[in-house]
Amino acid sequence: MVGFTGLHSYTILCLTLLTFFPNINSTSIETLTATQSLSINQTLVSPSQIFELGFFSPRDSSWYLGIRYKNISEKAIVWVANRDTPLSDSTGICKIGEHGNIVLVGKGGKFIWSSNKTEAETPIVQLLDSGNLVIREAKGVDPNKFLWQSFDFPTDTLLPGMKLAWDLDSGTERSITSWKDKDDPSTGEFSFRIDYHGFPEIFLWDKQVRSYRSGPWNGLRFSGVPEMQPTIKIEFDFVTNEHGVYYSFSLTNSTFLSRLIVNSEGVLQRLTWIASSQQWHVFWFAPKDQCDGYKECGPYGICDTNSSPTMTLEDCKNLCLKNCSCTAYANAEITNGGTGCVMWNGELIDMRQYPAGGQDLYVRLAASEIDDSGGTGSEGGSDKTKQTIKVVGITVAAAIVLLGMGIYFLCKKRTMQSICKGKTEHKVSFERSRDFLLNEVVVSSTREYSGECNTDEPELPLFDFGTIALATNNFSEENKLGEGGFGSVYRGRLIEGQEIAVKRLSKTSGQGVDEFKNEVRLIVRLQHRNLVRLLGCCVETDEKMLIYEYMEHKSLDSFIFDKEKRSLLNWQRRFNIICGIARGLLYLHQDSRFRIIHRDLKASNILLDGVMNPKISDFGMARIFGTDQTEANTKRVVGTYGYMSPEYAMDGLFSVKSDVFSFGVLLLEIIMGKKNRGFYSNNELNLLGHAWTLWKEGKGLELIDSSIGDSYSVSEVLRCIQVGLLCVQQHAEDRPTMSTVVLMLSSENASMPQPKNPGFCLGKNPVETDSSSSKQEESCTVNYVTVTMLDAR
């Protein structure tokens, strides 16, 4: 599970020399004997000085004994001795105990930690070039015979030569377990462990719950990791026999550095040191998409990363029962015993009985109508309370079909009353809905069955108007969350309890129809934790609505631009929001099925969930790029003034780099708590110009929002400001890609160039406009070139 092609960036745990390991008046030794000890200002180094053992303090006054890389700039910690028993101060020492073991003692000789007893006669401790800390006999004839080794007790890192293993003879396990957080090496919640039962494979655990699996070994690689390929530098080994099972990897090039970790966020990462850039790069990580989740699709389900997970017939039934407008369901594909799901809303039209070649159809009725005992359909009653009517085309006579349909139509009203009490009857104009979206997205969960299924497109539930009207209390003002150029957004609650946000297209919006279809076409294909999730849509006569997951804290702009609320966003929350937006944008540009340019990234399009996790929303302006496409041109410049890049505003050119520019503006707004648009300093510079001026003068910290207070990392703030200025540089080719942005944000020692002049508005000249116009027209100077643009959002 190492050395894969395709560079990915994710949070990298790098503990640096200046912060953790003492480097003033320190001394190094190569061997620790029974007459020596290792104190706070000493390190034990490997023969080729690849690794060193020493004390480090990641936070407060807690001290740990650990192993790290030595002669590279990002000296990551790879092993910790006393991870759950820290020293309380810097007076601790490491020595060889009376039982031939390694002992760590604190102030006054207080016992802190020790390795296993060895009873060696003349023990010595050495750190090998592999990173393995060992105890062996000084006079032993075999230098490779170890009485104890750290490789048998991994922490969060698997190094070349280490083993994830189960020793069935001794009943011992070797696994890696995450740190509690990036500054706390104590045992965390996530572990990567081999399961030797049946066909052995490796699982990622979140506490006691499995969250990811490697798949079994197929002789070349783990079956769940198709990108796993041996290279000229990396080889893999997987052994299983009656004595045990283990997995390890080895490096064929001694100058090549690679490691596998499970980080404090529950993500597996394969990290490789790139000497040319002097950085650790993430070459593989997991879980990376929804299909990596353990049991994501349930028994017999098949998960496709390019579409929604495949449903079983039982899943389809349960989904129909949860949707009060569902009237019938069937398999979308009848091959391989039946797969997928198709549901009908409203009236069933053009049903037909065939002498052969028919298909099972399941029609939904109220439980009270089919319970002979007169029960109410509560749990624990007759099985008839859960009964559906099964119409089999080959064997069931037409009379039974007609009878079933007659019963359905007679009791439809009572069905809706028993399931959706208080709901107003509303006929679904299904044909209109289907025609509207036919060329945009396959709405297979609500279309009429035609015997054909486009498996290249994901499914999207279609809600009827009555369901949404009921959920939003008939679109009441009390439920209204906001209003924009598209229309209004309402908060709602479905009958089953799920909270939703309903984006209702204004009936007078002409442009909004195209944006609506574009948003459906795009976002239904996307699944990422930093993108808002589309639950479905409603298209009936002149009503067009998008139904999203509800975001408790609404949009980012309601916090950072509000004098009272912005104090709720401390620096750590702002930094997490910045990193989350960056990861979401990286997914759009690089990791999703399509390369997507958002074109309208701004604070109001970043939504915050209950724990302030950011999610990018509003894909009405977004565009799909081809695999080899780098930029596109448009005569219709749309977007938001203040976030648009110069080349887009002036020439209509947009690319991933225009999104990067918008991200840079947003990043600086988050740090400063001020809008780029409408911000002017005394010298008539906008926010970007103001930030650029202070950065050049070495006054970058003056940009930070005063409401944050003093609880922030100076280096982290300055790094973010530099990243922001790099993103808003005037020339698109100078701006970094989002993969580089994520790397720069996640690594304290990432190499970053100095930013060049930003593309910013130096001043504004108001243009007289018709006050009755619904759009605001403004003129600004972009690097001394005057352009006029429309803010259509």
- How far is CA 645 from each of CA 27, 121, 295, 649, 738, rounded to the nearest angstrom? 53, 72, 43, 6, 15
φ/ψ of 675, rounded to 5, equals -80, 140
CB 466 within 8 A of CB 426: yes
Q: How many CB atoms lie within 10 A of CB 410?
A: 12
Cα separation, 162 vs 99, whole angstroms: 25
Which residue type occupies 358?
A: G
CB 765 within 8 A of CB 759: no
Could you check whether the bond before residue 226 is cis, i.e. omega within 30 degrees of 0? no
42: enclosing H helix or E strand: strand 42-45
Q: Dihedral sign, CA of 625, 629, 635, 640?
A: positive
618 as an active site residue: the answer is no
Determine the 3-state secondary structure of 515 from DSSP: helix
- The encoded tokens of residue 37 equal 């000890």
CB 686 within 8 A of CB 625: no
- The encoded tokens of residue 374 equal 């007169």
φ/ψ of 762, rounded to 5, equals -80, -25
The set of residues, in sequence order, having a beta carbon less than 8 Å from that of 770 and lying 6+ positions away, is none
Question: Most distant CA pair in the chain: distance in Å?
Answer: 98
CB 423 within 8 A of CB 466: yes
- The encoded tokens of residue 233 equal 């530098």
Cα separation, 80 vs 66, whole angstroms: 4
Produce one character per residue of 277-302: b if its CB has 16 or more CB atoms within 10 Å, e if not.
eebbbbbbbbbbbbbbeeeebeeeee
CA atoms within 13 A on the CB side of 458: 21
Cα separation, 73 vs 303, whole angstroms: 41
Cα separation, 132 vs 110, whole angstroms: 26
Which residue type occupies 721?
A: I
Q: Dihedral sign, CA of 615, 618, 621, 626?
A: positive
Query: Is 503 one of the annotated binding-site residues?
Result: yes
CB 744 within 8 A of CB 758: no
Could you tell me where the beta strands, DSSP code E, fall in 712-760? none
| Among 292, 371, 600, 618, the one annotated catalytic | 600
Determine the 3-state secondary structure of 118 from DSSP: coil
- The encoded tokens of residue 637 equal 């410049």
Distance of CA 193 to the CA centre of its chain: 23
φ/ψ of 390, rounded to 5, equals -100, 120
DSSP 405-464: HHHHHHHHHHHHHHHSTTPPP----HHHHHHHHTTT---TTTSPP-S---TTS----B--
The set of residues, in sequence order, having a beta carbon less than 8 Å from that of 338 and lying 6+ positions away, is 313, 331, 360
Could you tell me where the beta strands, DSSP code E, fall in 525-666? 534-540, 543-549, 595-597, 606-608, 614-616, 623-625, 631-633, 653-655
Determine the 3-state secondary structure of 275 from DSSP: coil
- Could you tell me which residues are annotated as the binding site for ATP? 503
The residues that are catalytic are 600
Pick out the residues of the known binding site: 503
